[in-house]
């Protein structure tokens, strides 16, 4: 998600005050438990369950803000359940989001079932979709972490080039325990393979070299779609793609896997920057 768009006042107002929001695509109305009439579109994001995607995204973003992953409206999260994709809107303060700010897309048709009236859908949407469709992911996280940006800069400058390791277009690191926190990622649409990736058997080992492809940034976030999809295809084991001078996209079969892999990768990016400062090679 571009760190760019305007934060509409009404959103922020509502983040503190009101609970009402107009939505489009309201094709019908329902009654909720307390007898209140809500639209079908709104029913998609109203739930008392803190793990409902609309609630979960808000909670995750609050935490990611403290890590510097979604600073200044940057970054974003998307969760896919059986039939729907939930996506945070573009350009809002991620730490202040509310479930009513959420966009909901029907996965099969890629049609929006819910669009908050005053907000814009995320520019990351096609990139999140790439992870969902090409890897059967259940969650995709995009951060602007400075550690991610810095490793792409170090690679760009050729400061860690290694025949079996990093190059201009790939970040590589080996023999660090935290690498074992990263799944091999699966390499197709098969959900069993993705599930497999979340188990010990499916994760990288200590002596494996973790490799994450780096794609070049573009002026418009949407324009990253082709190269991101190409990277996903060319790197069947990767569970993430770095975007030069921008950040990283990390996915997993569910929120827990996407989040813990994002944490492990961020840990490795930070460690790599510190290693580089001390003249140490990333690949042993």
* Interface region with a second copy, contact rule CB under 8 A, candidates 25-33, 37-45, 69-77, 80-88: 69-77
Min dist CB 155 to a second copy, Å, is 11
Q: Residue 74, interface with a second copy (CB under 8 A)?
A: yes
Q: Residue 161, interface with a second copy (CB under 8 A)?
A: no
Check: CB of residue 269 under 8 Å from CB of residue 148: yes
Min dist CB 109 to a second copy, Å, is 27
Determine which residue in the list 53, 76, 213, 247 makes contact with a second copy, applying CB under 8 A. 247
- Retrieve residue 151's tokens: 């490793």
The residue whose two tokens read 């790439």 is 130
Within 201-240, the residues that bind a second copy by CB under 8 A are: 202-203, 205-207, 217-219
Q: Which residue out of 95, 106, 156, 177 is catalytically annotated?
A: 177
Query: Residue 8 or 39: which CB sits closer to a second copy?
Result: 8
Helix (H) or strand (E) holding 64, with range, is helix 53-66
The residue whose two tokens read 């569970």 is 239
Residue 42's nearest CA partner among 53, 61, 28, 60 is: 28
Check: CB of residue 112 under 8 Å from CB of residue 159: no
d(CA 227, CA 245): 15
> Per this entry, what is the length of the chain?
284
- Retrieve residue 264's tokens: 């492990």
Query: Residue 39 or 143: which CB sits closer to a second copy?
Result: 143
Q: Residue 176, interface with a second copy (CB under 8 A)?
A: yes
Residue 151's nearest CA partner among 15, 282, 269 is: 269
Determine which residue in the list 127, 140, 149, 242 makes contact with a second copy, applying CB under 8 A. 149
Q: What are phi and psi of 157, to 5 degrees?
A: -80, 0
Within 119-148, the residues that bind a second copy by CB under 8 A are: 120, 144, 146
- Retrieve residue 89's tokens: 């809107």
* Interface region with a second copy, contact rule CB under 8 A, candidates 26-34, 101-109, 163-171, 255-263: 255-263
Residue 80's nearest CA partner among 110, 50, 100 is: 110
d(CA 183, CA 138): 14
* Interface region with a second copy, contact rule CB under 8 A, candidates 13-21, 35-43, 125-133, 228-236: 13-21
Check: CB of residue 152 under 8 Å from CB of residue 276: no
Q: Residue 71, interface with a second copy (CB under 8 A)?
A: yes
* Interface region with a second copy, contact rule CB under 8 A, candidates 6-14, 33-41, 128-136, 230-238: 6-14
Within 258-277, the residues that bind a second copy by CB under 8 A are: 259-261, 263-264, 266-267, 270-271, 273-277
95 is known as an active-site residue: no
d(CA 189, CA 202): 16
Within 86-125, the residues that bind a second copy by CB under 8 A are: 91, 93, 120
Query: Residue 133 or 281: which CB sits closer to a second copy?
Result: 281
Residue 271's nearest CA partner among 161, 202, 171 is: 171
Determine which residue in the list 57, 130, 154, 194 makes contact with a second copy, applying CB under 8 A. 154
Query: Residue 16 or 111: which CB sits closer to a second copy?
Result: 16
Q: Residue 40, interface with a second copy (CB under 8 A)?
A: no
Q: Which residues belong to the active site?
A: 177
């Amino acid at each position: 998600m571009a760190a760019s768009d305007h934060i509409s006042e009404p959103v922020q107002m509502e983040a503190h005050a009101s609970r009402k929001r107009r939505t489009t695509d309201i094709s019908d109305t329902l009654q909720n438990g307390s007898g209140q009439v809500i639209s079908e579109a709104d029913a998609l994001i109203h739930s008392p369950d803190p793990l409902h995607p609309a609630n979960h995204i808000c909670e995750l973003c609050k935490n990611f803000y403290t890590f510097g992953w979604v600073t200044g409206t940057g970054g974003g999260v998307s969760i896919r359940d059986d039939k729907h994709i939930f996506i945070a809107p573009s350009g809002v303060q991620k730490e202040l989001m509310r479930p009513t700010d959420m966009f909901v897309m029907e996965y099969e048709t890629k049609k929006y079932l819910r669009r908050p009236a005053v907000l814009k859908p995320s520019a990351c949407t096609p990139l999140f979709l790439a992870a969902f469709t090409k890897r059967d992911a259940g969650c995709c996280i995009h951060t602007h972490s400075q550690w991610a940006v810095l490793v792409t800069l170090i690679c760009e400058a050729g400061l860690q080039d290694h025949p079996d390791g990093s190059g201009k277009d790939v970040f590589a690191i080996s023999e660090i325990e935290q690498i074992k926190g990263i799944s091999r990622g699966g390499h197709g649409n098969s959900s069993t393979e993705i599930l497999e990736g979340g188990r010990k058997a499916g994760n990288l080992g200590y002596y494996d070299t973790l490799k994450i492809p780096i794609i070049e940034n573009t002026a418009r976030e949407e324009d990253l779609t082709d190269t991101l999809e190409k990277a996903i295809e060319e790197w069947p084991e990767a569970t993430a793609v770095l975007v030069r001078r921008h950040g990283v996209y990390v996915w997993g079969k569910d929120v827990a896997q996407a989040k813990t892999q994002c944490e492990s990768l961020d840990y490795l990016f930070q460690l790599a920057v510190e290693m580089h400062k001390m003249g140490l090679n990333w690949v042993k």
